[in-house]
Amino acid sequence: MFDKLEDLLLHYQELMNLLSEPDVANDSRRFQKLMKEQADLLPIVEAYTAYKKAKEAQEDALLLLEEESDEEMKEMAKEELAEAKEQITELEDKLKILLLPKDPNDDKNVIVEIRAGAGGDEAALFAAEIYRMYVHYAESRGWKVELIECDETGIGGMKQVNFMVNGPSAYSVLKYESGVHRVQRVPETESGGRIHTSTITVAVMPEAEDVDIEINDNDIRIDVMRASGNGGQCVNTTDSAVRLTHYPTGIVIYAQTEKSQLQNKNKAFALLRTKLYDLELQRRQEEEKAERLSQIGTGDRSEKIRTYNFPQGRVTDHRINLTLYKLDKIMNGDIQEILDALIAADQAKRLVKMNESA
């Protein structure tokens, strides 16, 4: 590990030298690429530099213990030694995590697709609430949310909603939200006070750019029409709605949230590219025989990653056995604690695999 860290430190210094050269500074594309590489390496370089300083402090404290006869100075050296050892352990763990292979999609924006599953109107209502949960969370991070398409019900629910989240490394955080979310509560329409169980599916996909996926014009049919729906936030009243049909896959995209036909067309193509890119990622992973669970299940109650229990005010993530009794805050977008726990669990699992293969 430390040989690799030394190589990365040397490479970082080379990058800093290159960035100061006039020829590089005048080449904006190359300059941006090198700046991105430098920024990616900076956390590793900072942690490794701190690690080396802690090692030096440990050696100095050990030397002082050997040579010093004064008891007060020895006690001070023991304290410094204990502090240095603690820092070394913490920084070693941090460096192992920083050196884990990075998902190439982690830096990308995301497109999220939410679909109502089992539960009819109640599932659609919950889908709308989960959509708002993610919007609130994104806003708390300073991220931008763009609605692409949705199918609303007359009572404020959403049978389906697609939206984009633009933010630094959004995919690295939100990718853990993919799966089936289950809600347990008494619907407003339930006169007997019985608790119902409904499900929705969430798929988080890295935004695909033009360089990621190429779409043949002959494979696409573009239809323009007036938006339809219940007159909610997803609908405008001009002839600007765009429907894309991708013949090879049968994927149909419908965008109607903007008043401009061009804006709706751009959003529709962004969603189509992302779905095609997601299919390509799945195909590659299947070829590599990597273990992968499909992001979108059938909506059946048994395929759940998380349960939102309203009567008990709790949220349970079943993948990591985490239960929090702050459902109201979570539904208002306070999901960072859950995401941090999922990220930590994923890192721990990958560290085990890395150690086993070492």
Cβ-contact 9, 98 below 8 angstroms: no
pLDDT class of 231 with cuts at 50, 70, 90? low
The whole-number pLDDT of residue 292 equals 41
Q: Which residues contact 77 (CB under 8 A, 6 or more apart)?
A: 61, 64, 65, 68
Is residue 347's pLDDT more than 50?
yes
The whole-number pLDDT of residue 171 equals 93
Sign for the pseudo-dihedral over CA of 36, 40, 43, 48: negative
Where in the sequence of the chain do the CATH 1.20.58 domains occur? 2-98
Cβ-contact 302, 180 below 8 angstroms: no
The whole-number pLDDT of residue 232 equals 55
Q: Which fold has domain 110-347?
A: Alpha-Beta Plaits (3.30.70)
End-to-end CA distance of the chain: 10
Where in the sequence of the chain do the CATH 3.30.70.1660 domains occur? 110-347
| From 21-35, 128-142, 219-233, 320-334, the region with the lowest mean pLDDT | 219-233
CA atoms within 13 Å, Cβ hemisphere of 291:
0
| From 32-46, 116-130, 140-154, 224-238, the region with the lowest mean pLDDT | 224-238
Pairing of strands 306-309, 179-185: parallel
The whole-number pLDDT of residue 208 equals 82
Residue reference for tokens 């299940």: 297
Helices (H), the chain: 2-19, 22-25, 28-67, 71-98, 121-140, 170-174, 261-287, 327-331, 336-357
Helix axes 71-98, 336-357, angle to 10 degrees: 90
In whole angstroms, give the CA distance from residue 315 to residue 329. Answer: 10
Q: Is 123 helix (H, G, I), strand (E, B) or coil?
A: helix
Mean pLDDT score across all residues of the chain: 83
The whole-number pLDDT of residue 302 equals 44
Share of the chain above pLDDT 70, in %: 88
The whole-number pLDDT of residue 135 equals 96
In whole angstroms, give the CA distance from residue 324 to residue 254. Answer: 37
Domain 2-98 has CATH 1.20.58: yes
Per-residue pLDDT reduced to its tens digit, 263-299 = 888 888 888 888 888 887 777 766 654 444 444 444 4
Cβ-contact 54, 91 below 8 angstroms: yes
| From 101-105, 136-140, 281-285, 294-298, the region with the lowest mean pLDDT | 294-298
Please count the other Cβ atoms lying within 10 Å of the Cβ belonging to residue 103.
Answer: 12
The whole-number pLDDT of residue 9 equals 87
In whole angstroms, give the CA distance from residue 256 to residue 260. Answer: 9
